[in-house]
Structure 1
């Protein structure tokens, strides 16, 4: 099969389109003919091997050379074959999932608990835009944030992949949503259902005197002491990420923020999707929101398979509203 192989860390140019063996599914795996994948910060961080401190961590990308050879954390496609213990899926089924690697190829082996039936009202490209970003938003709001109807929720970084899902999900959970984004995306974010949209170039939301029950911080644009002004005394700040850096950011920023949590009344929690479980169950939950019309993936650009390096380069620049998808 054709695949983009990562042999060393570097720019998108290190992604090498080549022929490799088609994987064979293990007993609990499904072989999927990939019809679409998406590109996200997770991919280019692994491609760059950044932040460098992550290379020293267990389960990290690899100290000198990448452990993951084929990137692509999201897939949508058709089942080609199933392992001996798999009974939930059969060849021909349309599925989507989050294997965390392998999507930049014509075929991918996926554990059965990382897959779910594709929403019937989505194309393969739309479905491939959902898994990592959609589950991140779901876990941040439902599990980390413990969102409840009637709460006031602020989404900082509302126009990106995770943010566009978070705005819609927060509304679906019955919250009042304030969304923060840049000027060019104000109307787009408002169209997702946000009750109020703050243009960060015109107003500092940490100094307007308003307080919220839950702050979902995707952008990482302010220090923790500023976020405390935004939260109610028993409010929650859910950290998803933040601006990148070669050495420790956003890891250092997140760890320093969490270190203060024992000394304040507000809750600070970190959303860690990479080590999460129940991917398939969460995809089923997202499908319910998608099929009843409360959640729609927002796609900024579509690329053909042969242009995956260009797609990664565009996503890495950090200006994509919504998701960047690839047709395989």
Structure 2
């Protein structure tokens, strides 16, 4: 089978699509024929060597945090799934994988998958797995968005951002999206009440907000100052400056900057699928690449400026 792997850490050109043995599921695992996988920040950090403590240094290392596809076979202890079921899910972000989601087949624990939402293609489903679950966990668990609160989504045109705009609206928030002006019409269509051009709008000109969802990871202290009394801020754009700002904000009580590591299991994916099925959450796909062009997909992801997700069409 074909699988995207790296044989060394580095730029996107270290990615290779190679032939390798098809994995077999253990007693509590499921073998999935992958139809699509998206490109996420976690994937590019692993490839560049930023998570060596997790991935290890034994090559090859598989890439691809998420997937959508079809169950091929299940382990002896797995209940609730059978061959032919359409599913979506993630590999464990803290695992060491020689084969991950960007491959023709992947083996994962059964508690890391869920029935894929109906009415969307595998490519569309894959675009929502990590981005949607990250936005859901940020809004539901990290900042506990309440009905009627004022929400700023910073970096609103990206994968997590487009999902956060929609989910915040579905939860009753009044949503302000901060993104490139050329994406304004789409963001309004997704549910943003206001769209601000980040190229011309400074942090001092906006707010206050009850909730800020940040996907950028820079100038966090400037945006934290735009929180209303009792406001909450969460960032998913981690960097060394971001970590320093998070630590420094700990003295501010409820107005500290929160972060988390999204690691969705079946329950979160079930809830996410409900939002998709209800129409509250729609996929936004920037571009689809064949698996063989995964290096180009990583390059495009790192350039930024996207609307939605870069997705790999693996099969199907």
- TM category (shorter chain) comes to over 0.9
Counterpart secondary structure, 1:78: strand
Give the match for residue 296 of structure 1: 282
1:209 positional shift: 5.1
Out of 84, 94, 100, which is 1:92 matched to? Answer: 84
Residue-pair matches, total: 308
Q: Tell me: CA distance 1:35–1:309, structure 2 relative to 1, closer, same or farther (3 Å).
A: same
Q: Which moved more, 1:182-191 or 1:17-26?
A: 182-191
Q: Tell me: CA distance 1:265–1:14, structure 2 relative to 1, closer, same or farther (3 Å).
A: closer
Out of 129, 134, 149, which is 2:147 matched to? Answer: 149
d(CA) in 1 for partners of 2:189 and 2:296?
28
d(CA) in 2 for partners of 1:227 and 1:303?
35
Counterpart secondary structure, 2:3: strand
d(CA) in 1 for partners of 2:156 and 2:101?
26
Out of 269, 275, 281, which is 2:258 matched to? Answer: 269
Moved over 6 A (4+): none
Mapping of residues 238-277 of structure 1, within 5 Å? 238-242=234-238, 250-264=239-253, 266-273=255-262, 276=263
TM-align CA RMSD: 1.7
Q: Which runs of 5+ in 1 are unaligned?
A: 243-249
d(CA) in 2 for partners of 1:209 and 1:122?
36
Give the match for residue 55 of structure 2: 61
d(CA) in 1 for partners of 2:285 and 2:278?
19
Normalised by the length of structure 1, the TM-score is: 0.89
Instruction: Say whether the 8 Å CA contact 2:33–2:106 is kept in structure 1.
Output: yes
1:131 positional shift: 1.1
Out of 156, 167, 171, which is 2:169 matched to? Answer: 171
Mapping of residues 73-112 of structure 1, within 5 Å? 73-99=65-91, 100=93, 102-112=100-110
Give the match for residue 245 of structure 1: none
d(CA) in 2 for partners of 1:294 and 1:209?
27
Out of 66, 72, 85, which is 2:64 matched to? Answer: 72
d(CA) in 2 for partners of 1:68 and 1:135?
28
1:64-97 Cα offsets, whole Å, 9 max, x none, are: x366711011111110010111011101111111
